Amino acid sequence: MIIIISDGIVSIGSNIVNSLNNQKIKDVLDVDNLIDETKFANLLDLNMADFIDKDDFTTAIVADQQLDIKAIFHHNVCSSTIIKGH
């Protein structure tokens, strides 16, 4: 069984993966926007099963590929201080 995390490549996500690793959990799949290669540095010291681009993940879900998912950690962060409520 795998644990899926969205945006594991960013600070919050990589800290979640680190916490899972501290609990001896390594079966983690990072679903991310893999365009910005500079953020990969956040993943260097982490143990993960794999990572996948968000569009490829969506394609896999729509195609009903069998993913043995145990849990999903989804977080969406907006660091802007000027965006008002939606």
CA–CA distance, 46 with 28 (Å, rounded to integer): 10
**Is 78 within a domain?**
no
CA–CA distance, 35 with 45 (Å, rounded to integer): 20
**Is 12 within a domain?**
yes
Q: pLDDT higher for 78 or 74?
A: 74
Which range of residues forms the domain containing residue 36? 2-73
How would you write the chain as a 3-class SS string? CEEEEECCCCHHHHHHHHHHHHCCCCCEEEEECCCCHHHHHHHCCCCCCEEEEHHHHHHHHHCCCCCCEEEEECCCCCCCCCCCCC
Residues 19-77: pLDDT tens digits? Answer: 999 999 999 999 988 777 777 777 888 999 988 888 998 898 888 777 788 999 987 66
User: What's the domain count of the chain?
Assistant: 1
